[in-house]
Amino acid sequence: MKILISIVTISFFFGQFVFADFNQAESLMKKSDCLACHSKTQKIVGPSFEEISKKYKNEKNASTQLTQSVIKGSQGKWGAIPMPPHPTLNEKDAQTMIEGILSLANTEENSKKKEKNEPEASTFDPTTVTQVDIEKGQFYFEGRLRFQNRGPSCIACHHVKNDAVIGGGILAKDLTSVFSRLGGRGVQAILGQPPFAVMEQAYLDHPLTPDEIYALVAFLNDADQKHLYQTPKDYGAGLVLSGVFGAIVLMVFFLFIGARRKRFSVNQDIFKRQIKSQ
Ligand code: HEC
Ligand code: HEC
């Protein structure tokens, strides 16, 4: 039974990878003439691929049926214009194209579901953020890059756990996990119009530009994701310990010198010689 289940699961995933991929279908279609008459979202001569996948979404053998449509040609299903046959197209390629086209209905449904669950995705999209944005945000945060309107750098009041950033102020909250708490939109809103008196005052006449806000949000998102791997910037105990250790080292050193000093504060050789010569 177990074996059967795993075979089913594996073939299911395998099937997903081999067939249900529109990009793969598209690259095959580029080699043929399909894209002259079809596009993903808009009707050209033939119907859009999204429309096709919607129409056949619930049909059982849509895949084989449409594969035959493409190879043998089709007419009367979508309008007056017929689709010419593609007799030289091999059946496997045709099927890959069709599976890719049919997968569009699923991905469309998935993305609709996703949108309902996470309304924030539309404002800040972490997948399009580049390393440059993140670094720029970090430099703004630290004050290595000045804000265009000369607002104070965030590190004056805030701290973020990140190995690349030195310890910051502790007047306001540690922002390491602010992204998880408020989300991209929340942080963006705060930076555009700070609801906190101190911060509002600081940026009243020095508003941040949308570009600067974007970079800062990118950096805070990155810091949030990475903070588990960062060594904590807790100087407290370490600093005290090294102070104590340094003091002990110095005391031992002076004790040693002092002890020598006391014992040999008088040059015994000369002293004895003088005593003798008297
Ligand atoms: C010369 C223009 C043209 C080209 C080239 C073309 N199509 Fe079509 N296609 C159409 C038209 C027009 C229809 C609508 C036919 C109908 O009403 O039955 C259609 C319909 C379809 C359908 C739906 C068929 C059905 O049974 O509902 C699919 C799938 C399709 N095309 C895929 C392709 C693929 C894949 C290629 C490339 C191998 C391709 N088409 C090339 C014009 C074209
Ligand atoms: C003058 C000091 C000051 C500066 C400069 C400053 N902030 Fe703040 N910020 C605050 C204070 C005070 C709060 C109130 C929240 C708290 O710490 O209790 C706050 C709150 C926030 C919050 C919400 C925190 C939360 O978890 O609710 C975010 C996000 C934030 N600041 C981001 C920034 C960024 C990014 C910058 C740099 C552009 C910045 N701040 C500059 C003082 C400052």
pLDDT at 198 over 70: yes
Instruction: Average the pLDDT over each of 19-33, 107-121, 178-192, 245-259 and give the range with the smallest value.
Output: 107-121
Is 263's pLDDT higher than 70? no
Q: How far is the CA of 109 from the centre of ligand 1 (A)?
A: 23
> How much is the pLDDT for 77?
93
Query: Are 183 and 121 a contacting pair, CB within 8 Å?
Result: no
pLDDT at position 63: 92
pLDDT at 51 over 90: yes
Distance 85 CA to ligand 1 centre (A): 9
Q: Report the percentage of the chain scoring pLDDT > 70.
A: 73
Confidence of residue 258 (pLDDT cuts 50, 70, 90): low
Q: Determine the distance separating the centroid of ligand 2 and the alpha carbon of 125, expressed in angstroms.
A: 22
CB 205 within 8 A of CB 190: no
Q: What is the pLDDT of residue 116?
A: 47
Band of residue 14 on the pLDDT scale cut at 50, 70, 90: very low
Sign, Cα dihedral of 216, 222, 225, 226: negative
- pLDDT at residue number 66: 95
- For the cut 60, the answer to whether the pLDDT of residue 154 exceeds it is yes
Question: CA Rg, the chain, in Å?
Answer: 36
Sequence-distant (≥ 6) Cβ neighbours of residue 39 within 8 angstroms: 48, 49
Query: Ligand 2 atom 13: the closest Cα is on which residue?
Result: 172
**Contact call for residues 155 and 141 (beta carbons, < 8 A):** yes
Mean confidence (pLDDT) of the chain: 79
200 alpha carbon, closest ligand: 2
- Considering 62-71, 149-158, 258-267, the range whose residues carry the highest mean pLDDT is 62-71
Is residue 175 in contact with ligand 2, taking CB distance under 6 Å? Answer: yes
Give the closest residue to 221 by CA, choosing from 250, 186, 263.
186
Q: What angle do CA 82, 23, 75 make, to 5 degrees?
A: 10
Q: In angstroms, how far is CA 141 from the centroid of its own chain?
A: 18
Q: Does residue 77 have its Cβ closer than 6 Å to ligand 1?
A: yes
Quick one: average pLDDT of 246-255? 76
pLDDT of residue 180: 82
What residue type is 58 in one-letter code? Answer: N
In the structure, what pLDDT confidence band is assigned to residue 147 with cuts at 50, 70 and 90?
very high
Closest Cα partner for 226 from 180, 132, 167, 162?
162
Instruction: Report which of 230, 216, 218, 239 is spatially closest to residue 164, judged by C-alpha positions.
Output: 230
Contacts of 100 (CB under 8 A, 6+ apart): 19, 20, 21, 22, 23, 24, 25, 26, 28
- Position 223 pLDDT exceeds 50: yes
Residue 216 Cβ < 6 Å to ligand 2:
yes
pLDDT band at 268 (very low <50, low <70, confident <90, very high): confident
Distance in Å, CA 175 to ligand 2 centroid: 8
C-beta 218 within 6 A of ligand 2: no
